[in-house]
Structure 1
Amino acid sequence: MKDAFGTPQSLLVLGGTSEIALATARRLVARRTRTVWLAGRPSAALDEAAASLRDLGADARTVPFDALDPATHEDVLGKVFAEGDIDMVLLAFGVLGDQARDEAEPLSAVRIAQTNYTGAVSSGLICAAALQAQGHGSLVVLSSVAGERARRANFIYGSSKAGLDAFAQGLGDALYGTGVHVMVVRPGFVRTKMTAGLPEAPLATTPEAVAEAIETGLRRRSETVWVPGPLRVVMSGLRHLPRPVFRRLPL
């Protein structure tokens, strides 16, 4: 169960090598979280991530998980929940892709959609049902400001995040009053390995800043979190721009 300050004692990360997810896990472990499951494709990086959390005092375990193989999700995730209650699930997997290549190679674009949206729908529904069955817990979904309005520079990635965001918001409404809390996190440009080499956008942030915002959101039981906060106003303005004006922006 969560403590009096809303800190989870157990955490399941879907996307166990995500820099944002690991920054969040480290922050929570420094508070009260003691059991951490890192779900991801088996790799040295996944094992190293678990070892780093053990060094901080957590009981960190790995579980094989592939967002692109939804037929296995129920079995894999069911085994995790069978080990005991999970206070928080952090859905943190996703791929950015390469817009120019993905436009030219539709199968690459489909892979982005399947990872960022289809895989999230499958695993999100399974985890939500498990949280509801135990009667408590939070499902935290890493969305993106890119999903607020599709931009020509990354409309494939943006559209996948738009679908994920709408799914998570609707799921939160469906679970309202059940004891399960759904929180959607919308970061802007985050300085990670995934974005290395890309032009940095205004209001760029770090995995640690996103982790801090997630912890604050959990404590407040927020439903939507923007990182950094001023992006809420910026994206509201962009979302309501007339389309002819929006098209002229260098986005």
Structure 2
Amino acid sequence: MKDAFGAPQSLLVLGGTSDIAQATAHRLVARRTRTVWLAGRPSPALEKSAESLRQQGADTRTVAFDALDPEAHETALGKVFAEGDIDMVLLAFGTLGDQARDEADPLAAARVAQTNYTGAVSAGLICARALQTQGHGSLVVLSSVAAERARRSNFIYGSSKAGLDAFTQGLGDALHGTGVHVMVVRPGFVRSKMTAGLQEAPLATTPEAVAAAIETGLRRRAETVWVPGRLRLVMSALRHVPRPVFRRLPL
């Protein structure tokens, strides 16, 4: 159960090698989180992430999980929930892809969509059902400001995040009143492994800043979190730019 301050004592991370996930897990463990499950493809990177949390004092375990293998999700995630209640699930896996390459390779584009959307739908529903059975817990889903309006430079990634964002909002509505809290997080450009080598966008942020915003959102039981917060206004304006004008913007 969460403590009196709303901090989760147990955490399941889907996408255990994500920079944002790692920053969030470390921040929560520094508070009161004591049990952490890291789900991801077995790799030295996943084990390294787990070991760093163990050194911080958390009882940390790993579980094999592949977003592109939804038929195995029930078994993998069921194993975690069978061990005890989970106070918070952080759905943090995803892939940026390569827009130019993916436009020329429909199979590669489909893998981006399957990872970011269909894999998340499968895992999200399984975790939501388990949290509802418990009668408590938070499901935190990493979306993106790219979900707000498709841009020429990354519409494949953006459209997959738009689907995930809409799914998460609908799931939150469906679970309202059940004791399960659903929160969608919309970061802008995050300086991380995923964006290494890319030109930095305005209002760029860090994994640590996203982690801090997630912690604040949990405490407030927010349903939507923007990182940084100013992006809410920026994207509200961009959503209403006429399409002929939007096409001429360097986005």
Q: Deviations over 1:93-128 (max 9, x none)?
A: 000000000000000000000000000000000000
**Paired residue secondary structure (2:107):** helix
User: Which stretches of structure 1, 4 residues or more, deviate above 6 A after TM superposition?
Assistant: none
Structure 2 Cα separation of the partners of residues 193 and 17 of structure 1? 10
Partner of 2:142: 142
Letter in 2 for 1:97: G
SS of aligned partner of 2:95: coil
- SS of equivalent to 1:62: strand
Name the residue aligned to 2:98: 98
Amino acid at match of 2:227: V
Cα RMSD of the aligned pairs, angstroms, is 0.3
Letter in 1 for 2:203: L
> What secondary structure, in the 3-state scheme, does the structure 1 residue paired with 2:120 have?
helix
- Please report how far the alpha carbon of residue 248 of structure 1 lies from its aligned counterpart in structure 2 after TM superposition: 0.9
SS of structure 2 residue aligned to 1:169: helix
**Partner Cα separation in structure 2 for residue 187 and residue 76 of structure 1:** 28
Shift in Å at residue 62 of structure 1?
0.3
1:158 and 2:151 are equivalent in the alignment: no
Gaps of 5+ in 2: none
SS class of match (2:97):
coil
The answer for the alignment partner of 1:210 in structure 2 is 210
For the pair 1:15 / 2:22, whether they are aligned, the reply is no
Q: Which residue of 2 aligns with 1:190?
A: 190
Q: CA deviation at 1:192?
A: 0.2
The residue type paired with residue 49 of structure 2 is: A
* Distance apart, 1:24 and its partner CA: 0.2
1:39 partner SS: strand
Please state whether the residue corresponding to 2:226 is helix, strand or coil.
strand
SS at match of 1:46: helix
Which SS does the other structure have where 2:31 is aligned?
coil
Query: Given the alignment of the two structures, is residue 38 of structure 1 paired with residue 38 of structure 2, yes or no?
Result: yes
Aligned twin of 1:24: 24
- Return the letter of the residue paired with 2:137: G
Query: How many residue pairs get matched?
Result: 251
Task: Report sequence identity in percent.
Answer: 85
In the aligned structure 2, how far is the partner of 1:94 from the partner of 1:147? 13
Matches within 5 A, 1:1-251: 1-251=1-251
3-state SS of the aligned residue for 2:23?
A: helix
CA drift of 1:135 comes to 0.3
Aligned counterparts of 1:6 and 1:196: Cα–Cα separation in 2? 34
- Partners in 2 of 1:196 and 1:126 — Cα distance? 32
Q: Distance in 2 between matches of 1:240 and 1:132?
A: 37
Deviations 1:193-241 (A, max 9, x none): 1101101000000000000000000000000000000000000000111
1:159-218 C-alpha deviation (Å, 9 max, x unpaired): 000000000000000000000000000000000011011010000000000000000000
**Aligned-partner residue type, residue 195 of structure 1:** T
1:5, distance to aligned residue in structure 2 (A): 1.0
Name the SS of the counterpart of 2:247 in structure 1: helix
* Partner-residue secondary structure (3-state), 1:11: strand
CA distance in 2, matches of 1:175, 1:194: 31
CA displacement 1:8-30 (0-9 Å, x = unmatched):
00000000000000000000000
Question: 2-side partners of 1:198 and 1:71: how far apart?
Answer: 34
The CA deviation string for residues 138-164 of structure 1, in whole angstroms up to 9 with x for no partner, is: 000000000100000000000000000
TM-score, L = length of structure 2: 1.00
